[in-house]
Amino acid sequence: MNFLRRFIPYFAKLTMSIAQMMKGKKTFGWNPEGKEAFEGIKKAIAKTPILACPDFNKDFIIYCYATENTLAAILTQKDSENHELPISFMSYVLKSHELKYTLMEKHAFA
C-alpha cells in the first residue's frame, strides 16, 4: 500500500491503526478498528484525485498540516485558468520521540 502514499491525502492518518497492528513480533489479527481503517483506505483509493504533472516554470504551493500523531502536506500548482491542481501528497506517522514536538515544530518538520 505504501506506493499509494503520494496519491492519497492523509494516507498516514488513514493507515495508522493498521501500521500499529503490524508492529512488533505479535501475530497479526483483524480487529474492528483495523477493518474500519482498511475500508477507509479502499474508499480513499476509489476517490483519489488525478495528479497534475509539475511545470517547473511555474510557482509551487505547499500546504502543511500537523495533528498529534501525523503530518501531512499537499504540493499544488495553478493551471492556466488559475485553479490549484494537486501534484503530490505527503503523510507521515510521527515516531515516539517526535510526538513530543510542539505544534510549530511539527509544522516545520512537515
Per residue in 19-32, pLDDT (tens digit) is: 777 777 777 677 88
CATH of the domain spanning 2-109, picked from 3.40.50.720, 3.10.20.370, 3.40.50.2000, 3.40.50.1100: 3.10.20.370
For 50-63, the pLDDT digits (tens) are: 889 999 999 999 99
* Cα angle, residue 89 at apex, residues 49 and 19 outer, rounded to 5°: 105
- State the pTM of this model: 0.61
Rounded to an integer, what distance in angstroms lies between the CA atom of residue 87 and that of residue 49? 10
**How far apart are the C-alpha atoms of 87 and 69, rounded to whole Å?**
24
Q: Which residue is listed with cell 500500500?
A: 1
Q: What residue segments make up the domains of the chain, in order of their start?
A: 2-109
